[in-house]
């Protein structure tokens, strides 16, 4: 459930404003129930946790009525700073560019949950953001939960845009159907 991408073009046509990055490397991990359980299991194996402690990690990490995506951004050249006004949107793949989708909310306190760390080793070149997308109360969110085949994450930083996509896992639609 991890995808790599890029926000912005591949070429540097800047002449002025070299304090801005010309593009950003993008990595996104959809923290599905399977990914959360795999991360908890790895924590159990490496930390010698009991089954009860591992189950507690899983239950703590399951955010009700929401999808969590770990978004990692690495600025290329420039100042190395990621502007605070960047935006993450989740929508069905193939939606028109006029369709904004569901806007995510960066939730830094999720950093404390071990089961939301993802299964890959941390790459410190990337800044990490835990972005929460509501799965109810929005037509796009309900469409994603109700049977879309592919979901797309759109990240906008300034006037640059990047996308990554995933097939919507059955476990996500099953979990949402039970709620």
pLDDT in tens, 125-175: 899 999 999 887 766 666 665 567 888 999 999 888 999 999 887 766 554
* Residue 122 lies inside a defined structural domain of this protein: yes
* Residue 60 lies inside a defined structural domain of this protein: no
* Residue 129 lies inside a defined structural domain of this protein: yes
* Residue 45 lies inside a defined structural domain of this protein: no
Task: For the chain, list residues with pLDDT below 50.
Answer: 175-179
Q: Which residues 6+ apart lie within 8 Å of 119 measured at CB?
A: 35, 38, 39, 42
* Residue 47 lies inside a defined structural domain of this protein: no
* Residue 49 lies inside a defined structural domain of this protein: no
Backbone dihedral angles phi then psi of residue 73, each to the nearest 5 degrees: -130, 135
Q: How far apart are CA 134 and CA 64, in angstroms?
A: 9
Which pLDDT belongs to residue 17? 61
Tally the domains of the chain.
1
pTM above 0.85, yes or no: no
* Residue 25 lies inside a defined structural domain of this protein: yes
Which pLDDT belongs to residue 139? 64
Looking up tokens 């109810």 gives 136
Q: Which domain holds residue 155?
A: 2-10+20-30+66-105+118-178
CATH number at residue 77: 2.60.40
* Residue 40 lies inside a defined structural domain of this protein: no
């Amino acid at each position: 459930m991890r995808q790599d991408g890029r926000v912005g073009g591949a070429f540097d046509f800047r002449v002025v404003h070299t304090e801005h990055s010309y593009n950003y490397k993008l990595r996104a991990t959809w923290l599905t129930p399977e990914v959360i359980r795999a991360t908890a299991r790895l924590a159990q194996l490496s930390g010698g946790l009991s089954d009860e402690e591992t189950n507690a990690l899983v239950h703590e990490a399951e955010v009700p009525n929401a999808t969590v995506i770990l978004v990692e951004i690495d600025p290329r050249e420039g100042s190395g700073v990621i502007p605070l006004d960047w935006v993450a949107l989740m929508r069905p793949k193939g939606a028109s560019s006029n369709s904004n989708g569901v806007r995510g909310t960066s939730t830094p306190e999720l950093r404390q949950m071990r089961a939301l760390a993802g299964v890959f080793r941390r790459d410190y070149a990337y800044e990490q953001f835990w972005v929460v997308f509501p799965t109810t109360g929005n037509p796009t969110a309900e469409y994603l939960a109700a049977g879309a085949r592919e979901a797309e994450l759109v990240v906008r930083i300034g006037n640059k845009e990047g996308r990554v996509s995933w097939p919507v896992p059955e476990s996500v639609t099953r979990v949402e159907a039970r709620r």
